[in-house]
């Protein structure tokens, strides 16, 4: 059973090496692929030095295209399972290992790491967040609840963390996502798509870390636009044809 | 309605002086020449030029047979020929703009896939060279 852990990275030269080292330590059996989404800094070099395989997109294509590149690689190279996490150090690889356990045990096809589900028991404190400790900004909180509501309405399944970038998947999901993946609304539409295709999607509570550097890209105006766009994407998604079976 | 009547522009609904008709015809011809020139210089592909030629011919037809417009307006049930003209042009442009968005979407998807294939090829080569004990590829393409 081969496992691929891939990390979409766009100008994350400062954090990518540490994330790779952490993944290699916590998930020793997995191959690590960094999908460099047209970075203009040293991301690709740092990733290769840290021992990861690097797939460099020639220009920035957006998170959806980067994630799809990872799924495509996993599918083509014959991996049985794959998982992805963010390159900015918010996602502890130990938690990714727990997501992978779920797909390995065949309890789900796609597993989402949720920071909003009930917190996991842990003795550590500090800047770790999860469950009730997580204090997002107001615009993020509004966006989160709007998406949560509409995605739950669309899929008739309860989702709490719709935009989580920490996921684990098996080959059925790779086949689906390598062909159908929205380039600019990756997280939400992919969940809707997977549920509509009859795949088992499950959320697992995870701890996430506070962002080390940089700030969230969300300003109030952008959030409003983001939410509006997301609702259109979800609405349109409801009318997409269901594909019977998956192509080989 | 005979062709002679169309050319004579006796339809009271269309008021075009011969001056404006000549100007319109010249613009239409210049437009079509410009399209030809663009194709000749490889700035425009033939398959995208068809619709512009049709537009040029339509302009020319409107200039030569002003009665045509009144006829179209009648067929649409519109009293004012100007309204008929503007609605037709507006709808055509709307359709064209949508057509371009569709073409753009397809090309964006193709470009993305092309970029992904190139990135995958590079990653595969790197993985292979590491397997063979070689040094990891560090140069970006």
Query: Which comes out higher in pLDDT, residue A224 or B34?
Result: B34
Q: Is any Cβ of chain B less than 8 angstroms from the Cβ of A136?
A: no
pLDDT at A199: 93
Q: Is residue A242 part of a domain?
A: no
Contact A85, A150 (CB under 8 A): no
pLDDT at A131: 47
Rounded Cα–Cα distance for residues A10 and B67 (Å): 61
Please give the C-alpha separations between residue A155 and each of A23, A189, A246, in angstroms, as whole numbers: 32, 11, 20
Using 50, 70 and 90 to split pLDDT, how confident is the model at B69? confident
Q: Is residue A90 part of a domain?
A: yes
Q: Is residue A169 part of a domain?
A: yes
Exposure class string for B90-121: b at 16+ Cβ within 10 A, else e: eeeeeeeeeeeeeeeeeeeeeebeebbeebbe
pLDDT at A241: 75
Q: Is any Cβ of chain B less than 8 angstroms from the Cβ of A233?
A: no
CATH of the domain at A199: 3.90.550.10
Rounded Cα–Cα distance for residues A153 and A149 (Å): 6
pLDDT, one tens digit for every residue, chain A (248 residues): 899 999 999 999 999 999 999 999 999 999 999 999 999 999 999 999 999 999 999 999 989 999 999 999 999 999 999 999 999 888 999 999 999 999 999 999 999 999 877 655 444 443 444 444 456 677 777 877 888 888 888 888 888 888 888 999 999 999 999 987 776 667 788 899 899 899 999 999 998 887 655 555 667 787 788 888 888 888 888 887 766 554 43
Strands (E), chain A: 3-9, 31-37, 53-57, 81-84, 110-114, 128-129, 167-170, 201-205, 208-209
Exposure on the CB side of residue A32, measured as CA atoms within 13 A? 27
Q: Is residue A248 part of a domain?
A: no
pLDDT at A12: 92
The secondary element (H helix, E strand) that includes residue A187 is: helix A186-196
Partner residue facing B126 (CB), from A54, A57, A183: A54
pLDDT at A217: 60
Stated length of chain A: 248
Q: Is residue A199 part of a domain?
A: yes
Contact B64, B7 (CB under 8 A): yes
User: In chain B, what residues touch A53 (CB-CB under 8 Å)?
Assistant: 123, 126-127, 130
DSSP string computed for A98-153: HHHHHHHTTS-SEEEEESSSSPPP-S--SSEE-GGG----HHHHHHHHHHHHHHHH
ipTM of the shown complex: 0.81
Rounded Cα–Cα distance for residues A27 and A5 (Å): 9
pLDDT at A135: 60
Using 50, 70 and 90 to split pLDDT, how confident is the model at B12? low
Partner residue facing B141 (CB), from A58, A65, A183: A58
Q: Is any Cβ of chain B less than 8 angstroms from the Cβ of A76?
A: yes
pLDDT at B4: 56
- Domain containing A9 equals 3-237
Does the structure show a pLDDT above 80 at B99? yes
Q: Is residue A183 part of a domain?
A: yes
Does the structure show a pLDDT above 50 at B140? no
Contact B49, B38 (CB under 8 A): yes
Domain count, chain A: 1
Q: Is any Cβ of chain B less than 8 angstroms from the Cβ of A195?
A: no
pTM, full prediction: 0.79
Q: Is residue A130 part of a domain?
A: yes
pLDDT at B27: 93
> Of A35, A82, A83, which Cα lies nearest the Cα of A61?
A35
Query: Which comes out higher in pLDDT, residue B72 or B15?
Result: B72
> Of A238, A236, A233, A243, which Cα lies nearest the Cα of A183?
A233
How distant is the alpha carbon of residue A88 from its chain centre?
12
pLDDT at B14: 61
Choose, out of A69, A70, A76, A181, the residue to mutate when testing the contact with B (most B CBs < 10 Å). A69
Averaged pLDDT, B132-141: 52
User: In chain A, what residues touch B135 (CB-CB under 8 Å)?
Assistant: none
Contact B126, A52 (CB under 8 A): no
Q: Is residue A247 part of a domain?
A: no
């Amino acid at each position: 059973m081969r496992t691929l852990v891939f990390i979409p990275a766009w100008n994350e030269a400062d954090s990518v090496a540490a994330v790779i080292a952490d993944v290699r330590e916590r998930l020793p059996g997995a191959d690590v692929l960094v999908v460099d989404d047209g970075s203009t800094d040293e991301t690709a070099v740092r990733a290769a030095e840290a021992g990861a395989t690097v797939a460099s997109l020639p220009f920035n294509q957006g998170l959806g295209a980067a994630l799809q590149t990872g799924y495509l690689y996993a599918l083509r190279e014959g991996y049985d399972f794959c998982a992805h996490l963010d390159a900015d150090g918010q996602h502890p690889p130990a938690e990714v290992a727990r997501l992978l356990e779920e797909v390995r045990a065949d309890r789900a096809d796609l597993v989402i790491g949720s920071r909003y589900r009930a917190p996991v028991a842990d003795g550590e404190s500090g800047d770790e967040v999860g469950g009730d400790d997580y204090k997002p900004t107001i615009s993020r909180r509004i966006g989160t609840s709007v998406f949560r509501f509409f995605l739950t309405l669309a899929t008739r399944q309860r989702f709490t963390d719709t935009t989580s970038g920490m996921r684990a998947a098996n080959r059925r999901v790779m086949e689906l996502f390598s062909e159908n993946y929205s380039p600019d609304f990756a997280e939400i539409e992919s969940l809707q798509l997977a549920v509509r295709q009859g795949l088992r999607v499950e959320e697992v509570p995870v701890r996430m870390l506070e962002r080390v550097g940089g700030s969230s890209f969300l300003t109030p105006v952008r959030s409003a636009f983001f939410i509006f766009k997301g609702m259109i994407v979800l609405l349109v998604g409801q009318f997409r044809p269901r594909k019977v079976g998956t192509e080989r | 309605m005979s062709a002679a009547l169309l050319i004579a522009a006796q339809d009271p609904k269309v008021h075009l002086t011969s001056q404006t008709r000549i100007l319109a015809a010249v613009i239409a011809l210049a437009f079509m020449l410009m399209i030809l020139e663009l194709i000749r210089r490889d700035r425009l592909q033939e398959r995208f030029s068809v619709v512009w030629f049709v537009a040029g011919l339509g302009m020319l037809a409107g200039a030569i047979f002003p009665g045509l417009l009144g006829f179209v307006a009648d067929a649409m049930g519109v009293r004012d020929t100007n309204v008929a003209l503007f609605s037709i042009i507006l709808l055509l442009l709307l359709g064209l703009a949508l057509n371009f968005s569709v073409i753009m979407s397809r090309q964006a998807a193709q470009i993305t896939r092309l970029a992904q294939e190139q990135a995958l090829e590079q990653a595969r080569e790197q993985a292979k060279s590491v397997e063979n004990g070689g040094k990891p590829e560090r140069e970006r393409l």
